[in-house]
Amino acid sequence: MSQVDKKAGLLRRTSSSKKPLKEKVVLMYDEIFAKEDPAKNNPRFWDELFLMKVNLEYLESKLESVDGEEVQRIQDNINSLFHHCVQALGEEHQIKVVNALQTLCALFRGVHQKNKSASGFDIINMLMGFDKAEQRMKDLMERLDSLLCGDGSESLKSLCLKLLLCLVTVTDNISQNTILEYVMINSIFEAILQILSDVSSRGQHGYDAVVLLALLVNYRKYESVNPYIVKLSIVDDEPTLDGMGMVVHQALTEYNRQYKNKEEENQGGFFSTLTSMVGNMFIADADEKLSVQTNEAILLALYEAVHLNRNFITVLAQSHPEMDIAATPTTPTPTTPTTPLGTTPPSLDMMSNPELPLDPNLQTSNLLIIFLKYASIVMQDTKDEHRLNSARLCLIILTCIAEDQYADAFLHDDNMNFRVNLHRMPMRHRKKTVDKNIPSRPLVCAVLDLMVEFIVTHMMKDFPMDLYLRCVQIIHKLLCYQKKCRIRLHYTWRELWSALINLLKFLLSNETTLLAKHNIFQLALLVVNLFNMFITYGDTFLPTSNSYDELYYEIVRMHQVFDNLYCMVLRVSTNTGQWKEAASKVTHALVNVRAIINHFNPKIESYAAVNHISQLSEEQVLEVVRSNYDTLTLKLQDGLDQFERYSEQPKEAAFFKELVRSISLNVRKNVSLNTLSQDLLLKEFSTIS
């Protein structure tokens, strides 16, 4: 009978498409929203319903349009619909499963649209009924779990993940989504892991799975024990963690690639001299097209993995030669490429492409390199809110990495040298460096380069104080590691020194405007203490004895900045005011720098006088420095090599809350109705059934 019905419906629809004739399914929806039990007259009502093509818009709008009192009346029917949806998931008939999944999507969304203000409990009651909610959700999660883990259709799995994403993002604030409490009890963590560990399923669903995981981890993170956090922190299965890393790797690579293409497009016809000015505008323009937002979710996932799971750190260094993908078993390309999420799935084509050519020009890279490149792009422009958030998250991730012993070990590994082409903002006063000339160095050099780059390029009116603090702290953590392990990194420290001095200069010249918003003394203290690290512990980590001389040279050369800084902090600390304490700390920190300046300046002047030279060459100054060390006494300062470990709570909690909210909105927008469109699915299953 249902067959006949279906045929008739199809015929009608195609033959008289212009008339606003109601579809059969719409009529059935109407029946559900009537008072009576739809199955009363037609015992096979539910069976038939799931054979119909779902009309998501109609169902959702119907749910939204229901007003307060009506809810009470139709609640039983909706509960029944939910119940039957869950049951239909267990059906062998795949079309029924598909339709049930989509109906569930519509239910979750519709009910939440309607009841934005309602409490979570009301929503649960409306959907499932309080008494049965626990059982219903348990059934639902179990069914989803078995669908995800089974060897059924890939499109079906993708739909399952979409349903879950839909469920997770129905509220703006994930922690207010009370239904998720059941997702906490009935964990689908293992299913997510399984998707990530398997090469072929990772290629197709990895992105959704990682996003879902990132969101679930953030459910009531600070208030309750979230089992996903606990579970994520103890995963130690390498293929799974690797899989997760691969998904992030691919997503970021794809973004980097797109950015590079855009950049090249925009800069193609210009002379390099012109581009420095014009290119700036164009890049800003190009960036807008490349939404950073979509990557926030992936970045969050990377953060959670790095922050929570100590085994994940190894994945960062895990090199992925192109053949890693090629080595995977040739997976049949999915017959129905339902774009997962529509959130610009990271190079699906790249992931499913079984044989990538051995490109000799392609550098071997690892997740960390890709991440650094990505960060260099994102950090270029922090004006827009999303970019600022992304940049902040990037720096937080780097902070976690810099604190990790193992990560530090491979960052400094002398045998693992890489060329990392960081993106540099084109600026008027500097030439765009030729990419090719970057030497192959340990990865930590790239991190330091990135930090220096950030410091140099963000001295602006709208001063990103928070980012600066993180940036300087990352450098400090790396230095602490080098000091402790006595690693003499061959890095051109001079660049860092001059960047830091310029930063101090900027703080000084914009004192009044900055002080209105920020505690600049905190940053100044950190910067001065970096210098103190070099001055007092330079012997443990500087690469050559010359570099120590150069440090003194740089300080003496820029003594004006330090002098001014000292005057400023001295002034502020003698006045009474909110900055008194902070400023006086800086005065104390400056003691050695001032000692150096006061010691060497007269010596240099007298050297010039004695030798009748007006302008001393660098070599001459260095000579004076070298010969006058012994009469200089420095004061040892406390705790230079100590730092505060990163902790998410309570400092960063607000940031992450907002971030998750914005990600939720974005994901919800992208799990749009049309991505759930079933045409392709139906095509796939019509041959099966």
Partner 1 sequence: MEDAEPELSSTSSDLNSPSVSLSSSPSLSLPSTPSSSCGAPQAVTPPLGVISEGVGELSLMINAEVAQRACQEVLQKVKLQQVEGDVGPDPETPTSHSALTPVVKPLKIRGEDNDPEYPAPGSVKSARRRQRHNPSKQSWLLRLFESKLFDISMAISYLHNSKEPGVQAYIGNRLFSFPHEEVDFYLPQLLNMYIHMDEDVGDAIKPYVVHRCRQSISFSLRCAWLLGAYSSDMHISTQRHSRGTKLRKLILSDELKPAGTRARRDLLALTPFCPITSSSSGPGPIGGDHGLSPSKRTHQRSKSDATVSISLSSNLKRTASNPKVESSQDEDSSSSSDSLEFETGPPVRLTPQREFIKSLMGIGKRLATLPTKEQKTQRLISELSLLNHKLPARVWLPTAAFDHHVVRVPHTQAVVLNSKDKAPYLIYVEVLECENFETSSVPIRIPENRIRSTRSVENLPDCGITAEQRAGSFCMVPNYDNDDEAWSVDDIGDLQVELPEVHTNSCDNISQFSVDSITSLESKEPVFIAAGDIRRRLSEQLAQAPTTFKRDPEDPSAVALKEPWEEKVRRIREGSPYGHLPTWRLLSVIVKCGDDLRQELLAFQVLQQLKSIWEQERVPLWIKPYKILVLSSDSGMIEPVVNAVSLHQVKKQSQLSLLDYFLQEHGAPTTEAFLCAQRSFVQSCAGYSLICYLLQVKDRHNGNILLDADGHIIHIDFGFILSSSPKNLGFETSAFKLTSEFVDVMGGPDGDMFNYYKMLMLQGLIAARKHMDRVLQIVEIMQQGNRHSHARTHTLTHTLSHTPRLHLPFCLCPGSQLPCFHGSSTMRALKERFHMSLTEEQLQLLIDQLVDGSMRSLTTKLYDGFQYLTNGIM
In the window 94-113, what residues touch partner 1 (CB under 8 A)?
Answer: none
Token pair 């139709």 is found at 74
Binding to partner 1, residues 272-301 (CB under 8 A): none
Binding to partner 1, residues 51-90 (CB under 8 A): none
How far apart are the C-alpha atoms of 364 and 349, rounded to whole Å?
A: 20
613 binds partner 1 (CB under 8 A): no
412 binds partner 1 (CB under 8 A): no
What are the residue ranges of helices labelled H in 94-172? 94-114, 120-127, 130-149, 154-168
CA distances from 96 to 46, 55, 165 (A): 10, 14, 20
Decide whether 327 or 427 has the Cβ nearer to partner 1: 327
Binding to partner 1, residues 653-682 (CB under 8 A): none
Q: How far is the CB of 475 from partner 1 (least distance, A)?
A: 15
Decide whether 308 or 663 has the Cβ nearer to partner 1: 308
String of contacts with partner 1 for each residue 427-466, x by CB under 8 A: ------------xx--------------------------
26 binds partner 1 (CB under 8 A): no
**Out of 197, 267, 376, 587, the residue judged to bind partner 1 by CB under 8 A:** 197
How far apart are the C-alpha atoms of 112 and 179, rounded to whole Å?
A: 11
Residues with Cβ within 8 Å of 596's Cβ and at least 6 positions away in sequence, in order, are 535, 552, 555, 556, 632, 634
Instruction: Give the bridge partners for 320, in sequence order.
Output: 365
Asked if residues 519 and 463 have their Cβ atoms less than 8 Å apart, the reply is: no
224 binds partner 1 (CB under 8 A): no
Token pair 């939404």 is found at 291
Asked if residues 169 and 671 have their Cβ atoms less than 8 Å apart, the reply is: yes
Binding to partner 1, residues 199-218 (CB under 8 A): 199
Residues with Cβ within 8 Å of 2's Cβ and at least 6 positions away in sequence, in order, are 44, 47, 48, 51
**Out of 469, 634, 680, 682, the residue judged to bind partner 1 by CB under 8 A:** 634
**Out of 7, 430, 431, 635, the residue judged to bind partner 1 by CB under 8 A:** 635
**Out of 259, 481, 493, 566, the residue judged to bind partner 1 by CB under 8 A:** 481
Q: How far is the CB of 210 from partner 1 (least distance, A)?
A: 17
Decide whether 60 or 403 has the Cβ nearer to partner 1: 403
Residues with Cβ within 8 Å of 125's Cβ and at least 6 positions away in sequence, in order, are 75, 133
CA angle at 508 for the pair 507 and 510, rounded to the nearest 5°? 70
**Out of 20, 639, 650, 688, the residue judged to bind partner 1 by CB under 8 A:** 639
How far apart are the C-alpha atoms of 87 and 33, rounded to whole Å?
A: 20
String of contacts with partner 1 for each residue 339-378, x by CB under 8 A: -------------------x-x--xx-x------------
**Out of 67, 68, 630, 674, the residue judged to bind partner 1 by CB under 8 A:** 630
**CB-hemisphere CA count at 13 Å for 219?**
28
Decide whether 69 or 644 has the Cβ nearer to partner 1: 644
Assigned token pair, 395: 């720096």
Asked if residues 312 and 245 have their Cβ atoms less than 8 Å apart, the reply is: yes
648 binds partner 1 (CB under 8 A): no
Segment contacting partner 1 (CB under 8 A): 19-27, 252-260, 336-344, 540-548? 540-548
484: enclosing H helix or E strand: helix 465-485
Decide whether 320 or 387 has the Cβ nearer to partner 1: 320
Instruction: Give the bridge partners for 418, in sequence order.
Output: 441
Binding to partner 1, residues 541-600 (CB under 8 A): 542, 544-545, 548-549, 596
Decide whether 617 or 633 has the Cβ nearer to partner 1: 633
Q: How far is the CB of 323 from partner 1 (least distance, A)?
A: 7
Decide whether 117 or 415 has the Cβ nearer to partner 1: 415
**Out of 484, 505, 585, 603, the residue judged to bind partner 1 by CB under 8 A:** 484
How far apart are the C-alpha atoms of 264 and 268, rounded to whole Å?
A: 6
Q: How far is the CB of 629 from partner 1 (least distance, A)?
A: 4
Give the type of residue at 237. Answer: D
Question: Can the peptide bond before residue 345 be classed as cis, meaning omega within 30 degrees of 0?
Answer: no
Asked if residues 406 and 313 have their Cβ atoms less than 8 Å apart, the reply is: yes
**Out of 80, 115, 175, 309, the residue judged to bind partner 1 by CB under 8 A:** 309
**Out of 24, 249, 387, 483, the residue judged to bind partner 1 by CB under 8 A:** 483
Segment contacting partner 1 (CB under 8 A): 179-187, 238-246, 426-434, 565-573? 238-246
223 binds partner 1 (CB under 8 A): no
**Out of 403, 449, 550, 554, the residue judged to bind partner 1 by CB under 8 A:** 403
CA angle at 639 for the pair 635 and 644, rounded to the nearest 5°? 155
Segment contacting partner 1 (CB under 8 A): 19-27, 331-339, 462-470, 625-633? 625-633
Assigned token pair, 370: 């890709």
How far apart are the C-alpha atoms of 314 and 228, rounded to whole Å?
A: 21
CB atoms within 10 A of CB 438: 16
Measured over all CA atoms, what is the biggest interatomic distance in the chain, rounded to whole angstroms? Answer: 112
Backbone angles phi, psi at 381, to 5 degrees: -135, 115
Decide whether 159 or 479 has the Cβ nearer to partner 1: 479
Assigned token pair, 400: 């976690």
149 binds partner 1 (CB under 8 A): no
Q: How far is the CB of 618 from partner 1 (least distance, A)?
A: 18
Q: How far is the CB of 360 from partner 1 (least distance, A)?
A: 5
Q: How far is the CB of 203 from partner 1 (least distance, A)?
A: 12
414 binds partner 1 (CB under 8 A): yes
How far apart are the C-alpha atoms of 593 and 635, rounded to whole Å?
A: 10
**Out of 36, 57, 76, 238, the residue judged to bind partner 1 by CB under 8 A:** 238
Q: How far is the CB of 543 from partner 1 (least distance, A)?
A: 8
Binding to partner 1, residues 327-346 (CB under 8 A): 327-328
Decide whether 51 or 148 has the Cβ nearer to partner 1: 148
407: enclosing H helix or E strand: helix 405-411
How far apart are the C-alpha atoms of 2 and 284, rounded to whole Å?
A: 57
181 binds partner 1 (CB under 8 A): no
Decide whether 359 or 619 has the Cβ nearer to partner 1: 359
Instruction: Give the bridge partners for 441, in sequence order.
Output: 418
Return the closest-CA partner of residue 599 out of 629, 574, 576, 635: 629
538 binds partner 1 (CB under 8 A): yes
